[in-house]
A = this chain, B = another copy of it.
Amino acid sequence: MKEIIECVPNISEGRRKEVVEEIIGNLKKLEVKLLDYSSDEDHNRTVITFVGGSENVVNAAVQVARDAVRLIDLRSHKGAHPRMGAVDVIPFIPVKNVTMRDCIEISKRVGKIIGEELGVPVYLYAESAKKEARRLLPEIRRGEFEGFFEKIKDPEWTPDYGPQEVNPTAGVTAVGAREFLIAYNINLSTKDISIAKKIARSIRESSGGLRYIQAREMPLDEKGCVQVSINILNYKKAPIYRIFEIVKMEADRFGVSVLESELVGLMPMKAALDSLSFYLQFPELNEDQILETKIYE
């Protein structure tokens, strides 16, 4: 059974195309499958997505990190997105025939190499975190590159791997294992942003809603409506259908209905089949029952 791990390095360069192309070009020579890479100029950041088996994913992640450290100088980096490292964060996601535990091991191997060979302090985050305070990326990243020269002296923030000093040009890096994240939006039949705000607040974990859910309101001026913009951090524990039905129910009390859903990027087949099973009342519907899965197995 072929194992598939997804890796999504975020690097702090979204403007100098030649730098991004060099990193991508080197990545393409390796035994992993590049699924996507997209640069955001405002954010000055590029998100790279590739998949492969454990050994290959380790090699590829290290190479992206090595290139980013060599080519990016954070002292001159400006962008809308908060960042703390040339390679800012490297998550590993279990996709097929591989467990979260395997991905935690992989993140530790990669973290150790980045720390020791590239001389960049590494923090294990998400499922790999050794302390609760390091689970959430925004907590680690608080203060960003510039603030880390002080932050790293705090014993609370001793890195998990690598030197006890910030790399002068490449900062620090977070490496960890996490579940696949689904970015999912629901558009509502109203222009009243306060309604989207109330609904976002009612579903997100941080306001006492559902675990694993981040949500906020967004005005969509061109479409003439408002949106509840959602991140599902664990689609197995917080399935899409449940989010959708709760948003629909909450909207209904304001006399508002759902115009449409929107998926940003990808979702795993299991997430799609789980929601379909809910609606069509399949006790179990798995990937083996999908023709395409059998073909590509």
Contacts and interface: CB of A to CB of B under 8 A. Distances in A.
A31 interface: no
B272 A95 contact: no
A35 B292 contact: no
Contacts of A262: 282
A71 interface: no
A282 B185 CA distance: 10
A289 to B, nearest CB: 6
Interface in A197-251: 240-241, 244
Interface string A124-158: 00000000000000000000000000000000000
A73 B297 CA distance: 36
A1 interface: no
Given A33-B295, A276-B276, A282 B269 contact: no
Given A261-B281, A272-B276, A291 B240 contact: no
A282 B287 CA distance: 21
Interface centre among A6, A273, A281 (most CB of B within 10 A): A281
Secondary structure of the A contact surface, majority rule:
mixed
B266 A275 contact: no
A160 to B, nearest CB: 29
A95 B281 contact: no
Contact of A295 (B35, B259, B272): B35
Nearest to A263: B289
Contact of A296 (B268, B289, B296): B296
A24 interface: no
Interface residues of A, number: 42
Chain B CB within 10 A, most for which of A275, A282, A283, A295: A295
Contacts of A267: 289-291
A123 interface: no
Given A269-B290, A290-B268, A241 B280 contact: yes
A254 B291 CA distance: 35
A279 B241 contact: yes
Contact of A290 (B244, B259, B266): B266
A273 B294 CA distance: 17
Given A95-B295, A260-B282, 4 more contacts: A266-B289, A266-B294, A267-B290, A272-B285
